[in-house]
């Protein structure tokens, strides 16, 4: 159940801007003199490389802590291309694969007194998910608005320990876009819960039957209790389509005490529909312990859901090197009734390249004259 704590953390983070606003009201800002030296949200870099040392995928079918890589490319203003991959290389942080490698087994009853067991021989898959797609701008508007810029140091030393902000007028570029792409995911999953929820029996090619009560051997004996630990490999590939709202600010000011300060964030909100026709479970392979022979169990009776949806956001900056963050919540194509998920990815660093204009320096020293 702890996998859903990530969702609660995500909800808590979303409340922070409101708390920050309350703090600002309690500690009024001192007067800051400044002049605007750049306010152009169309002057953007063209390429972002997001290196992700930490990703968290909390699914009903699995929970994984891993790493990833995203690339964002804007070949021209109306089109944004994006590709990425997340995965796991440490078994302990891929909970279902780690459990399958340790515990996957089938208990059998060979006679009234003799019990037996089978070991699952599937090569259990590491978790990975990958996407490739693009967003086309249906509407691209330049709006008048405001932004808050964090001061690099206190305007009046020793007066307050709070980080201060000033609110200034700024242009906001707002883009409404249509999204289309492909997605793929693979993971080790447990199937015992699906057998119980869907009241199924899995039949082996040697006559063994697995169900919610345990194992019925081909010789007619059945186990008293269900001690089976069943795992399989799940994979899902298909398409996503949806819409996005992107808001861009790219303003720099020159202050008397703090030098050049900027707000150049790019925040994107999106919602997508998943349609994954190539969604499947791998048949379970098992061999008898201490005996010859193996058996294949057909998992096709397990119902799979090939439709899903998600909502999420991404925050990145129009700077050569900084951070970016993204999060999603939704329902993925999965074993039926097991598709709920949440995802968090932290990119550090995020490299950005390709602006055709010279950037305003963001650190030119304090105590500058605004006339210079």
**pLDDT of amino acid 157:** 52
User: d(Cα 93, Cα 87) in Å, to the nearest integer?
Assistant: 10
**pLDDT of amino acid 9:** 47
**Burial class for 1, CB neighbours closer than 10 Å (0-12, 13-18, 19+):** exposed
Q: Please compute, for residue 307, the number of CA atoms within 13 A of its CA located in the half-sphere on the CB side.
A: 0
User: d(Cα 16, Cα 326) in Å, to the nearest integer?
Assistant: 16
Compute CA distances 31 → 36, 43, 168, 196, 205, whole Å: 16, 29, 12, 66, 80
**pLDDT of amino acid 159:** 53
**pLDDT of amino acid 153:** 54
The model carries a pTM of: 0.83
Q: Which run of H or of E encompasses 103?
A: helix 95-103
Binned average pLDDT, 10 residues per bin, the chain of 372 residues: 47 45 43 84 95 96 97 96 94 94 93 91 96 98 91 54 76 97 98 94 95 92 94 98 97 84 94 98 94 91 97 96 96 97 96 71 49 54
Where in the chain are the domains? 2-353
Contact, 200 vs 302, CB < 8 A?
yes
């Amino acid at each position: 159940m702890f996998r859903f704590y990530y969702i609660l953390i995500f909800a808590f983070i979303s409340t922070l801007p409101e708390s920050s606003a309350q703090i600002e009201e309690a500690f009024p800002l001192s007067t800051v003199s400044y002049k605007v030296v750049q306010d152009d949200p169309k002057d953007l870099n063209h390429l972002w490389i997001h290196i992700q040392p930490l990703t968290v995928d909390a699914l009903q079918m699995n929970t994984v802590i891993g790493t990833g890589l995203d690339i964002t490319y804007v070949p021209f203003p109306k089109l944004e291309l994006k590709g990425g991959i997340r995965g796991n290389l440490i078994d302990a942080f891929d909970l279902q694969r780690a459990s399958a490698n340790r515990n996957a087994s089938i208990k059998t009853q060979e006679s009234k007194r003799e019990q037996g067991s089978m070991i699952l021989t599937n090569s259990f898959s590491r978790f990975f998910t990958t996407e490739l797609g693009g967003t086309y701008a249906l509407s691209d508007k330049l709006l008048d608005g405001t932004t808050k810029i964090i001061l690099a140091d206190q305007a009046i030393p020793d007066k307050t320990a709070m980080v201060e902000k000033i609110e200034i007028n700024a242009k906001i570029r707002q883009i409404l876009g249509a999204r289309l792409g492909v997605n793929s995911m693979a993971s080790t999953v447990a199937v015992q819960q699906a057998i119980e929820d869907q009241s199924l029996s899995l039949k082996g090619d040697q006559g063994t039957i697995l169900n919610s009560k345990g194992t019925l051997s081909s010789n007619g004996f059945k186990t008293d209790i269900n001690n089976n630990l069943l795992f399989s490999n799940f994979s899902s590939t298909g398409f996503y389509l949806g819409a996005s709202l992107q808001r861009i600010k790219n303003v720099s000011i020159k202050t008397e005490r703090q030098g050049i300060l900027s707000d150049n964030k790019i925040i994107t909100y999106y919602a997508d529909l998943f349609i994954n026709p190539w969604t499947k479970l791998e048949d379970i392979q098992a061999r008898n312990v201490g005996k010859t022979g193996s058996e294949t169990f057909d998992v096709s009776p397990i119902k799979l859901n090939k439709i899903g949806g998600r909502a999420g956001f991404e925050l990145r900056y129009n700077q050569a090197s900084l951070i970016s963050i993204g999060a999603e919540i939704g329902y993925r194509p999965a074993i039926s009734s097991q598709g709920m998920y949440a995802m968090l990815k932290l990119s550090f660093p995020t490299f950005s390249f390709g602006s055709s204009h010279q950037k305003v320096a963001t650190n030119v020293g304090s105590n500058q004259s605004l006339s210079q």
